[in-house]
Copies of this chain bind each other. A is one copy, B any other.
Amino acid sequence: MKNILIIGAGRSSSALIRYIYKEAVKHHWQITVTDQQLSLAEEKTRDFDGIITAALDVADTAQRQKLVSSADVIISMLPPSLHINLAHDCLILGKHLLTASYVSPAMQKLHEEAKQKGLLFVNEAGLDPGIDHLSAMKIIDSVKQKRGRVHSFKSFCGGLVAPQSDTNPWGYKFTWNPRNVVLAGQGTVQYIIDGQYKYIPFHKVFAHTEQVHIPGYGDFEAYPNRDSLSYRSVYNLQEIPTMLRGTLRRPGYCKGWQLLVQLGLTEDSYTLEGSSRMTYREFLNAYLPHKPDISILDNLASYTGQEKESEAIKLLQWLGLFEDTAIGLANATPAQILQQLLEEKWKLQPEDKDMIVMQHLIGYTIGEDEYLCTSSLVVEGEDATYTAMALTVGLPLGIIAKLLMQDRIQARGVVVPVTPEFYEPVLDELAQMGIQFKETEQEISSVK
């Protein structure tokens, strides 16, 4: 009996397990789900008969290799840094490996060896990276087949709350790892637009937003992701004059977040002396100039160049940053203090649903004619378990695992899913499950 091993039974594994279970029943495959916490693996597989569960300490090489040796395909839902040990196991034991994480330099080095051994290590096979690659490459390839030239690629993605759960002025709740949200955008953003490089330092990133409209879902704004330039080679668009990737938020969010960044409240490199005795108001005040004669609100407004009544300042007030509530965290970094506050204010309620939004805007020319292809995806979560995030991260991995079990993928080595043998069947099957891009093609009058 063929065996699929899923390592990691966290939030993002629910939809993957449900999908793989249905396929396994059809094809008589064995599934094993492991996690550091056995209870998590048991909870996630409770509704599905016949799945084997096991506790796995991934640092225990013998135990890990024993599990790997019994499987045909391994899906790693571990944190990115833990994939590499599994990849070495797979090389030794001759197994295929799937992850939703970016290809690390260490992983990339295994390409030739994996290829020679006839093994496939697919990475970046979740949502972002994952569905973005699949859907973008399908459009890019179709343009090339029409002898067109892609001159502009913009792509945006965001994990948000569904409209009915969008109940606070930030238009945001934590549907994913809060720490990643608080630390988002660190480092210098790099992209290219009309042939001009843009380098945006972290403290300005959330001031560089683009408006995005999704039919039926209204307006969003996108802040640029750290690295857009490297996608030129991933998508084989080396000479493209415009390449920009960004993260979607509801309008207003970025102005509020920009204010937090500007003040320094998202820093994680040092701890505050006496943070355990501070209130949130004192915390905010520690980032303002020393002006004892004016109010903290006046001080904030003049320091940041905002109107006192501005939306951004109201967003900070709504968070409770002006309130004399005790923080109660010792030796905390600013980012940790902010995260504690946000986890309270942006908490996803049990009845809340999340939502994934993605949009590609691909400009191209065929001969003298210029076109814009707009391709949009919205996925709402089913409930608190089968979230939009879990569906969109887990299902591409599940479908690729199935294709691999059925010998329908020829690629070998360390691979990112950008070729037709991936995007055709995966996008088709996602569409059957309701995860479908809506495309509009628009002819632009004036050629550049």
Which residues of A are at the interface with B, using a C-beta cutoff of 8 A? 187-188, 190, 193-194, 196-201, 203-204, 208, 229, 262-264, 267, 269-270, 272-274, 282, 285-287, 289-290, 292, 305, 334
Contacts of A267 in B (CB 8 A): 188, 199, 201
Q: Are A197 and B264 neighbours in the complex by a CB distance under 8 Å?
A: no
Q: List 5 A-B contacts (CB under 8 A).
A: A188-B264, A196-B285, A197-B286, A199-B270, A201-B267
- Please, which residues of chain B bring their CB within 8 A of the CB of A334? 199
Whether A273 contacts B229 by the Cβ 8 Å rule is yes
Q: Among A193, A274, A286, find the residue whose CB has the most chain B CB atoms closer than 10 A.
A: A286
| Contact A197 B229, beta carbon cutoff 8 Å | no
In whole angstroms, how far apart are the Cα atoms of A181 and B86 in the complex? 47
CA A289 – CA B193 in complex, angstroms? Answer: 10
- Complex CA distance for A444 and B229, rounded to whole angstroms: 60
CB-CB under 8 A from A200, the residues of chain B are 264, 287
Interchain CA distance A285-B193 in the complex, whole Å: 12
CB distance from A244 to the nearest CB of B (A): 9
Main secondary structure of the interface of A (DSSP, over half): loop
CB-based contact A199/B285 at 8 Å: no
Chain B residues with CB below 8 A from A201, complex form: 203, 262-264, 267, 287
Q: Are B203 and A286 in contact (CB under 8 A)?
A: no
B190, B229, B272: the one within 8 Å of A199 (CB): B272
Across the interface, A190 reaches (CB within 8 A) one of B263, B270, B292, B305, namely: B270
Report whether B194 and A272 are in contact in the complex, using a CB–CB cutoff of 8 Å. no
Neighbour of A197 across the interface among B194, B204, B273, B289, CB < 8 A:
B273
Docked Cα-Cα span, A263 to B201, in Å, equals 7
Which residues of B are found within 8 Å of A187, using beta-carbon distances?
A: 269
Indicate if the CB atoms of B286 and A204 lie closer than 8 Å: no
- Bound CA span A282–B194, Å: 13
Q: How far is the CA of A354 from the CA of B264 in the complex (A)?
A: 35
Measured between C-beta atoms, what is the minimum distance from A90 to chain B in Å? 33
Instruction: Write out the residue numbers on chain B whose beta carbons fall within 8 Å of the beta carbon of A269.
Output: 187-188
Q: List residues of chain B with CB within 8 A of the CB of A287.
A: 198-201
Which residue of chain B is the closest to A242 with respect to CB atoms? B290
Neighbouring B residues of A193 by C-beta, 8 Å: 290
Q: Smallest CB–CB gap between A191 and chain B, Å?
A: 9
A-B interface, 8 closest residue pairs, ranked by CB to CB distance from nearest: A201-B264, A203-B203, A193-B290, A197-B286, A199-B286, A305-B305, A188-B270, A199-B287
With beta carbons under 8 angstroms apart, the residue of B199, B282, B289, B292 that contacts A264 is B199
Can you name the residue of chain B whose Cβ is closest to the Cβ of A210?
B290
Contact A194 B286 (CB under 8 A): no
What B residues does A305 contact at CB under 8 A? 305
Q: Give the docked Cα–Cα distance between A188 and B268 (Å).
A: 10
A193, B292: Cα distance in complex, Å: 10
Once the chains are docked, how many angstroms separate the CA of A305 from the CA of B200? 16
Chain B, residue nearest A202 (CB): B203
* Structural contact, B197 and A274, CB atoms closer than 8 A: yes
Which residues in B have their C-beta under 8 angstroms from that of A289? 208
Q: Once the chains bind, are A292 and B194 in contact (CB under 8 Å)?
A: yes
Q: Contacts A264-B188, A305-B305 given; indicate if A197 touches B272 (C-beta within 8 A).
A: yes
- Closest Cβ of chain B: how far from A150's Cβ, in Å? 18
A231, chain B: closest CB distance, angstroms = 14
Instruction: Give the residue name and chain of the B residue nearest to A278 (CB).
Output: B197
Q: Closest CB of chain B to A145's CB: distance in Å?
A: 30
